[in-house]
Amino acid sequence: MTVTSESSLAISGGKPAVTEPPGDLFTWPIITEADETAVLEVLRRGGMSGMDVTLEFEQDLKQWFGMPHVLCHNTGTAAIQAALWAVGVRRGDEVISQSMTYWGSSLQVFSLGATVVFSEMDPNTLTLDPSDIEHRITERTKAIVPVHYCGHPTDMDPIMEIAERHGVKVVEDVSHAQGALYKGRLVGTIGHVGAMSIMSGKSLACGEGGFLVTGDQEIYERAVAWGHYSRTGKLENPDLKPLAGMPLGGYKYRMHQLSSAVGRVQLKGYRERMTVIQDAMNHFWDRLEGTPGLRAHRPLVASGDTMGGWYAAHGLYRPEELDGLPVSRYCEAVNAEITSGFSVRGGANPLMHLHAVLNEADIYGDGKPTRIAFADRDLRQPQGSLPVTESLPERCFSIPWFKHYRPEQIDQYAEAFRKVAENAEQLQ
Ligand SMILES: *Cc1c(COP(=O)(O)O)cnc(C)c1O
């Protein structure tokens, strides 16, 4: 094939595909005067450590999710830890989750004296593969933590069915997927409790913060008792009442009110902004339909699933269609086409099961790695134990996360990915 000026890759001196500067195409969160006013109001009256704005934010969130209980936290990590304790995860217990995720999905189990067992992931959704879970359940398994990874909803129906059958609770990690739908239902409202981060990188962004949402009053009250000492006076559970006044976890998880103030404003506009992002991201993938080596990481429209705000958007990479071109080399060539505004990388979060913290670290001085300090067997998972998950760093890549629907500009980015894939032989 002759190399024309259109097909000559920027990495070898051709013309880059993206010529327009990005402007605010990627800027997030979108801050307006309403956010500024809300923050200044709290700041000027010295209300940072109060509760009034946070309680209002909880009301907004209950309405948004259509759920009776929401509890705001100072981080998503804290909300997930509280949720795990509240569903009954205790010393020696096991939690099942996925290995490719931000560590805050499950690493908190160590602070509960519990441990994590990683289950395989579905290579197309990058979420838990329901067919690999059941054989990992033991009498010590207390919870499953599905992560709606990079916005993609986990296949929840079979997971709920397995959980019910084994008396295991489901804690959804919704940090990547606020507003995403699974078969038309909001993720976070399907498991026994949904917990999530809303730190400012996330698609619903408040600053630093997180919350949990649940239909179960017992779970809600236990989470209050765990990390919200100033709210324990209102608990109805007779087991918790005598303990009121001090947090059972020894943690203080109250949300900073500059965060809840921003969160309230961001939530008001979230549905609308999410729709714009969905239009933009779907436009990007529609343009790339049929490109060798590339697959969209998104559900079929007919499934009733959506990607929420497409947090940390990724694509699926199929190197066998590109003569085995490594994803890192592919991304390097795409970055040369993009030149400014966004750089992409192969892979996603580092795999948890291969990290030293999950294998060697003795964090609490038990004389054993913390992962197995209270376990009844060596449940560590060495290299080779999760072949599908371990193949994923070579089989996905980050893509630009568009915050505005500007088709002509987005087309240039899509062209960068298409051009490199269609001319991959120039990189061999
Ligand atoms: C961001 C994130 C968290 C933790 O949230 P923080 O608010 O940063 O503590 C948990 N799980 C996932 C998947 C995340 O991306």
Indicate which atom in ligand 1 lies nearest the CA of residue 210: 7
Indicate which atom in ligand 1 lies nearest the CA of residue 105: 11
Residue 408 CA to its chain's centroid (Å): 29
Using 50, 70 and 90 to split pLDDT, how confident is the model at 404?
very high
Residue 305 CA to its chain's centroid (Å): 16
pLDDT in tens, 31-57: 999 999 999 999 999 999 999 999 999
Ligand 1 pocket test, candidate residues 187, 196, 204, most atoms within 8 A of CB: 196
Task: Provide the pLDDT for residue 252.
Answer: 98
Calculate mean pLDDT across residues 156-164: 98
Cis upstream peptide for 29 (omega within 30°): yes
Pocket of ligand 1 from Cβ distances under 6 Å: 75-77, 80, 101-102, 104-105, 147, 173, 175-176, 197, 199, 210
Task: Provide the pLDDT for residue 127.
Answer: 98
**HEC sequence for 274-340:** HHHHHHHHHHHHHHHCCCCCEEECCCCHHHCCCCCCCCCCEEEECHHHHCCCCHHHHHHHHHHHHCC
Using 50, 70 and 90 to split pLDDT, how confident is the model at 5?
low
The single-letter code of the amino acid at 261 is A
Q: Which residues pair with 213 in a beta bridge?
A: 70, 194
Is the pLDDT at 26 greater than 80? The verdict is yes
pLDDT in tens, 239-287: 999 999 999 999 999 999 999 999 999 999 999 999 999 999 999 999 9
Ligand 1 centroid – CA 69 distance (Å): 20
Q: What is the mean pLDDT of the chain?
A: 97
Task: Provide the pLDDT for residue 1.
Answer: 45
Ligand 1 centroid – CA 197 distance (Å): 5
Ligand 1 centroid – CA 187 distance (Å): 16
Give the 3-state secondary structure of residue 116: strand
Using 50, 70 and 90 to split pLDDT, how confident is the model at 9?
very high
pLDDT in tens, 194-251: 999 999 999 999 999 999 999 999 999 999 999 999 999 999 999 999 999 999 999 9
Ligand 1 centroid – CA 253 distance (Å): 15
Give the Cα separation of 227 and 264 in Å (integer).
22
**What share of the chain in percent tops pLDDT 70?**
99
Give the Cα separation of 404 and 402 in Å (integer).
6
> Listing from the earlier edge strand, what are the strands of the sheet with 169-173?
69-73, 210-214, 193-197, 169-173, 141-145, 94-97, 115-118
Reading phi first (left if > 0) and then psi (alpha if -120 to 50, else beta), residue 69 is in beta
Using 50, 70 and 90 to split pLDDT, how confident is the model at 333?
very high
Residue 147 contacts residue 154 (beta carbons within 8 Å):
yes
Indicate which atom in ligand 1 lies nearest the CA of residue 198: 7
Q: Which residues pair with 343 in a beta bridge?
A: none
Q: How far is CA 71 from CA 48, 166, 180, 219, 260, in A?
A: 17, 27, 20, 11, 12
Calculate mean pLDDT across residues 347-368: 98
Residue 416 contacts residue 288 (beta carbons within 8 Å):
no
pLDDT in tens, 101-119: 999 999 999 999 999 999 9
Residue 118 contacts residue 68 (beta carbons within 8 Å):
no
- Rounded to 10 degrees, what is the CA torsion of 203, 209, 215, 219? 140
Q: How far is CA 185 from CA 28, 46, 67, 213, 372, in A?
A: 26, 39, 12, 14, 37
Is the pLDDT at 395 greater than 50? The verdict is yes
**What pTM was estimated for this model as a whole?**
0.97
The single-letter code of the amino acid at 279 is D
pLDDT in tens, 73-95: 999 999 999 999 999 999 999 99
64: number of Cβ within 10 Å: 18
Is the pLDDT at 339 greater than 90? The verdict is no
Ligand 1 centroid – CA 391 distance (Å): 23
Task: Give, using CA atoms, the residue closest to atom 6 of ligand 1.
Answer: 76
Is the pLDDT at 375 greater than 70? The verdict is yes
Give the Cα separation of 395 and 14 in Å (integer).
27
Task: Provide the pLDDT for residue 251.
Answer: 98
Calculate mean pLDDT across residues 168-179: 98
Ligand 1 centroid – CA 424 distance (Å): 35
Ligand 1 centroid – CA 277 distance (Å): 21
Calculate mean pLDDT across residues 329-347: 93
Is the pLDDT at 2 greater than 60? The verdict is no
Task: Provide the pLDDT for residue 172.
Answer: 99
